Structure 1
Amino acid sequence: MTIDEMVQKGVHLGHQTSRWNPKMEPYIYTKRNGVHIIDLIQTCSQLKTVSDMLEKYSSQGKSFLFVGTKRQASGLLAKVAIECNSFYVNQRWLGGMLTNWKTIKRSLCTLQELEVQEGTEGFQKLPKKEATTFRKRKERLQKYLGGLKGMTALPDVVIIVGQVEEMNAVLECKKLGITTVTILDTDCDPTLTDLFVAANDDSIKSLTLLCNTFLHAIQTGRDRLKDSTPGTTLGRGKTNRAAFKKREVIRS
């Protein structure tokens, strides 16, 4: 990826200078018309480092969780996550999604049970009111947890888009010692993530360019893993592959 490509996609455009985090100063090239301009030479280097690490983690069979609930990122993250057999949260981060994993896991089991029940003859015979209540419960669980179907353990790596918006996820990862990779805009804190790429996290063009690079790295690592150990389970622990096929892309 070249700097020209990044400029065309607006990767260099940060926030207004009044909305910056001073900790991002080392990664800012200049300011123009009241907007901080990100140093793309550093961004290129960071993207190479992150891509190499994602490929390495993937080749080791590690699991990935994409987190991004802002409108620009929602549909994109779901698509990218599904393409690389990973998980995602793109609607709302429920408190304790990681730190209270046992409860979330039970909710995922409930969702699976509801989906099975919905296809039974008994469901068809339910009174209309009960059937409506049933569907609403299932739809709520699907909306917030649908991207976690098949996840049987905590993820090894969490990829975050929108650090400011996803601070609860950031802090849960930090508390549990889970590796984080973050796209950091000029209003973010680089000390709260393990790996990062300084870039515009608001533009869909910028996010698409970066997330597709992450996708390619993870897929390359998956291919290396399959070539070296045929039949190896992708992800941490026993990943439910069938659930990947059933997951829906949830868009805001």
Structure 2
Amino acid sequence: MAKNIEVKELLEAGVHFGHLTRKWNPNMAPYIYMERNGIHVINLYKTVAKLEEANEALKKIASSGRKILFVATKKQAKDIVAEKASKVNMPYITERWPGGMLTNFVTIRKAVKKMASIDRMKKDGTFNTLSKKERLQVERLRAKLEKNLGSISEMTRLPAALFVVDTMREHIAVKEAQKLNIPIFAMVDTNSDPRPIDFIVPSNDDASKSIEVVLAHITDAVAEGLAERKSEKQSEEEGKDAAKNEKKAKKAEKTGAVEEAPKVKDVPEKEIKTKKEEAPKKKAPKKEAGTEADDLTKVEGIGPKISEIFQNSGINTFGDLAEKSEDELREILTDAGSKYASKNPASWPKQAKMAAKGQWDKLEEWQESVKGGIEE
């Protein structure tokens, strides 16, 4: 969690020092505490309130997975911004602001792709085929692109917000962001106009200590937002995994986890009967053979098609099937086609006899003890 912002900490870093009174912007009047020795003093209590407000907004943007572009081209802010922004993996501009960086983003992306294509040339060996002069030109171009655009190489689309140090110096960046309705967060000194800024942080934008303290709080909030996003993703993945496992478990219940159940031949008969009473399988209803057709598919080895063939031959019940010999059944199957002639009906009358007598437990035990209803 981001640490609390203390007025004392800001005071020690000199965040309260403004510009000379003759250089002030009247729109900054609400944030000025007093004038001392010809210099305006910023109200740090308002700075704390505004900084907390900006932190909350930036935290939300970071947690949504969007990028925040940090801009600071002044000498005393360059290294600080580069260090703090890279820690939270956010893009930054610390050299000159390339005109059209936001409003002509497609062209900027082309320049970044050019840099990537030069890197590919070096990897695949194309670079070595160039002449010495061409290699030197390509190297210079690569160095220039890296210097100006290297920090935004991962920014594949427009940023969700802009954080600016010194709005007067970075006025082009502010205007571009305004044109595209991109929220602007900025350190605003007493000589700057706060009106174009969406989230202002009234502060000294010239002293490196002041810039470092403010940026430390800003990047802490961004880091917190990124951590929230990471934890949300993890919980989502865990939820998906749990749903998958639950689905698999339900599927296993439906299909009946037969693989885990012990085989009949390895377990005593009494134990088998007890287990069957606890978790009975789907059984055919107990009924004696009569004039109504029985479900012949309950006999291991007989499918719906063979059942239909037998019914067409006058075998409608388990009793009818039990009376038939193996040769008679084989003849019926052969007449039905070569597809069915290969079937082995040897055990079908025996199974049908048990089914006709309603001995379903006995039939089921027998079917489990043989492979595919065929006795060895």
Normalised by the length of structure 2, the TM-score is: 0.60
Structure exhibiting the larger radius of gyration computed from Cα positions: 2
The correspondence of residues 122-133 of structure 1 with structure 2, limited to 5 A, is 122-133=126-137
The answer to whether 1:28 aligns with 2:14 is: no
Aligned mate of 2:90, from 86, 91, 96: 86
The CA deviation at 1:127 is: 2.5
Whole-angstrom distance in 2 between the partners of 1:187 and 1:168? 17
User: Which residue of the partner structure matches residue 198 of structure 1?
Assistant: 202
Alpha-carbon shift at residue 5 of structure 1 (Å): 1.1
**1:222 corresponding residue in structure 2:** 226
Which of 185, 203, 206 does residue 189 from structure 2 map onto? 185
- Is 1:64 matched with 2:68? yes
Q: CA deviation at 1:114?
A: 1.3
- 1:1-252 matches, within 5 Å, as 1-230=5-234
Residue segments in structure 2 that go unaligned for 5+ positions in a row: 237-376
Instruction: Determine the C-alpha separation between the residues in 1 that align with 2:112 and 2:87.
Output: 21
- The residue number in structure 2 matching 1:237 is none
Q: How many angstroms apart in 1 are the aligned matches of 2:167 and 2:120?
A: 36
Equivalences, count: 232
Measure, in 1, the Cα distance between the counterparts of 2:137 and 2:183: 39
Q: Which amino acid aligns with 1:195?
A: F
| In structure 2, distance between residues paired with 1:125 and 1:109 | 21
Superposed CA offset, 1:72-94 (max 9, x none): 11111111111111101110101
| SS in structure 2 of the partner of residue 113 of structure 1 | helix
Q: Which runs of 4+ in 1 moved over 6 A?
A: none
Distance in 2 separating the partners of 1:10 and 1:219? 25
Higher RCO (CA 8 Å, separation ≥ 6 residues):
1
What SS does the aligned partner of 1:152 have? coil
Of 164-173 and 54-63, the range deviating more from structure 2: 54-63
Letter in 2 for 1:136: R
Please state which structure has a larger fraction of its residues in strand.
1
CA-based RMSD: 1.4
Using the alignment, how far apart are the partners of 2:197 and 2:120 within structure 1? 39
State the match for 1:245 in structure 2.
none
The CA distance in 1 between the partners of 2:85 and 2:235, in whole Å, is 21
Q: TM-score, normalised by structure 1?
A: 0.89
Unaligned runs of 5+ in 1: 233-252
Sequence identity, in percent? 36
How far apart are the structure 2 equivalents of 1:14 and 1:116? 49
